[in-house]
């Protein structure tokens, strides 16, 4: 029996306290898995964690580092080309990444220990079958495969099965693989960020080198989303008029999907602030966060390259404005692009061909349809991604009695959904997929095909209430 989960996003809680509780796994999850394994007569349990297990980006710790020592700073970009401590010396980016990982462990000690010890022991005691736990990196845990000390520490914390699931580079260092194939369960899986141009900078290079490259999404996550959370917290510490509700509200900013809704969510909150002074202050904080974002050289270079490739008019404006008017005007042009587009439109433009989620026009459905893994291997029936936080099933092909499905494993994080009238509702999600080989889940005396179950649960959690004056100003 193969169980797949993804996007747990365990964090150090410096930018919000939304970690999953031990009870989520130690009681609910393990009981469900034990029940299924017992009923389906499983001979083993494989647990695949399909990326974004630990969140090395949603943390205020990076803001304590000089820009050059962040993953998108000069040293971080150098390391992303291939870091070898014996050649490049000790890296402050590795040191901080390791510090963040250790803080994540301290905030989730009981849950991490469950995965390493308790889960295996409970299954052994109850069913007497082996447990194997595998891990595939995503984009929020990208640094795991950049820095040996971070990789080794994560391995120490979880004890993943890596004997048959690791790659070795030219220097003899091992790394977690970015794909997982289990033919006896009909499964091919990857995190899926590889098809998100904002969160993957390797183009068509899915190798270790391509995966290590810093992406725009890394910078957006920390230099805008975490930065604005940090500014709210700091304002509350020094301004008694700055309400607790504002700080609690802004911490939800990292749960908005799709990400292009973030600008609307933030602007709506600012516009509906009843206190004029606070409203002006909130706008100033937002502007400061945007200014912080565009001071990052990586962002300026990325936007310039994007504009060059996708908007010739703006590119030639840049070529004319910069020589004549200097950096000041260029900064205003870039600020206009970033301020008005980065949080929504620029991502929407990049993904403008995504189409409706779950249809044949969905980027991830199309990408799954194009995967050579199932086209070249008739035993693969299921293509799995995570990343989007949107649980989904979509049929890819049926030919010669072979049915191929795309399955997105969603998330265990909350998600903010935008309503028809442009407000937001927070819903907690739990999703996992289970696959059985031909000797399990047999409905008759003969061994059958590989089967699967896809479990998705949701429950609504109330967001912090707005003050009555704010609520009264919201459109009915």
Quick: pLDDT tens for 389-406.
Answer: 999 999 999 988 899 999
C-alpha separations of 310 from 165, 216, 233, 313, 408 in Å: 39, 16, 37, 9, 30
C-alpha separations of 404 from 188, 397, 443 in Å: 11, 5, 21
User: Do the beta carbons of residue 346 and residue 339 sit within 8 Å?
Assistant: no
pLDDT of 187 reads 98
| 459 pLDDT more than 90 | no
Highest mean pLDDT among 246-255, 302-311, 440-449: 246-255
For residue 472, how many other CB atoms are within 10 A of its CB? 11
What gap in Å lies between CA 15 and CA 254, rounded to an integer? 9
User: Do the beta carbons of residue 220 and residue 139 sit within 8 Å?
Assistant: no
| 84 pLDDT more than 80 | yes
What size, in residues, is the chain? Answer: 476
Helix H or strand E segment including 399 = strand 392-399
Whole-model pTM over 0.85? yes
Helix H or strand E segment including 271 = helix 262-271
Place of tokens 């899915």: 206
The SS3 of residue 178 is coil
Beta-sheet pairing, 402-408 with 166-168: unpaired
pLDDT of 261 reads 80
Q: Which two tokens stand for residue 306?
A: 């994007």
User: Do the beta carbons of residue 179 and residue 189 sit within 8 Å?
Assistant: yes
The values of phi and psi at residue 368, to 5°, are: -65, -40
For residue 324, how many other CB atoms are within 10 A of its CB? 8
Q: Name which of 125-134, 183-192, 320-329 the model is least confident about.
A: 320-329
């Amino acid at each position: 029996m193969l169980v797949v989960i993804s996007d747990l996003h365990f964090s150090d809680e410096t930018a919000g306290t939304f970690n999953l509780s031990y009870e989520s796994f130690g009681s609910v999850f393990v009981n469900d898995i034990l029940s299924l394994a017992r009923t389906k007569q499983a001979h083993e349990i494989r647990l695949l964690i399909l990326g974004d297990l630990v969140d090395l980006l949603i943390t205020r710790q990076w803001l304590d580092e000089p820009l050059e020592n962040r993953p998108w700073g000069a040293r971080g970009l150098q390391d992303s080309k291939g870091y070898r401590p014996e050649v490049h010396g000790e890296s402050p980016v590795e040191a901080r990444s390791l510090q963040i990982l250790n803080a994540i462990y301290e905030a989730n000690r009981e849950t991490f220990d469950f995965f390493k010890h308790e889960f295996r022991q409970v299954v052994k005691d109850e069913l007497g079958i082996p447990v194997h736990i595998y891990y595939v990196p995503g984009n929020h845990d990208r640094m795991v495969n950049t820095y040996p000390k971070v990789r080794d520490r994560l391995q120490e914390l979880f004890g993943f099965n890596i004997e048959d699931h690791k790659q070795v580079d030219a220097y003899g260092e091992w790394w977690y693989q970015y794909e997982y194939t289990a033919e006896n369960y009909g499964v091919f899986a990857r995190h899926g960020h590889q098809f998100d141009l904002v969160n993957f900078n390797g183009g068509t290079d899915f190798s270790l080198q391509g995966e290590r490259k810093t992406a725009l999404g890394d910078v957006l996550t920390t230099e805008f989303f975490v930065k604005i959370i940090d500014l709210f917290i700091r304002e509350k510490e020094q301004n008694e008029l700055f309400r607790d509700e504002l700080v609690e509200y802004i911490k939800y900013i990292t749960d908005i999907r799709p990400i292009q809704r973030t600008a609307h969510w933030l602007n709506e909150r600012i516009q509906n602030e009843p206190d004029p002074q606070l409203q002006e202050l909130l706008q100033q904080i937002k502007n400061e966060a945007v200014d912080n974002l565009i001071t990052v050289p990586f962002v300026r270079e990325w936007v310039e390259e994007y504009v060059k490739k996708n908007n010739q008019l703006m590119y030639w404006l840049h070529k004319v404005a910069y020589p004549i008017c200097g950096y000041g005007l260029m900064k205003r042009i870039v600020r206009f692009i970033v301020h008005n587009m980065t949080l929504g439109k620029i991502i929407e433009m990049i993904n403008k061909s995504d189409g409706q989620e779950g249809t044949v026009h969905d980027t991830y459905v199309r990408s799954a349809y194009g995967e050579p893994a199932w086209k070249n291997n008739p035993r693969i029936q299921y293509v799995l991604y995570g990343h989007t936080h949107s649980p989904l099933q979509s049929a890819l092909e049926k030919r010669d009695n072979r049915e191929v499905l795309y399955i997105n494993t969603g998330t265990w994080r909350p998600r903010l959904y935008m309503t028809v009238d442009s407000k937001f509702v927070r819903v907690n999600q739990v999703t996992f997929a289970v696959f059985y080989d031909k000797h399990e889940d047999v409905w008759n005396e003969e061994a059958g095909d590989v089967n699967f179950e896809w479990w998705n649960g949701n429950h609504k959690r109330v967001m912090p209430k707005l003050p009555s004056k704010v609520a009264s100003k919201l459109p009915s």
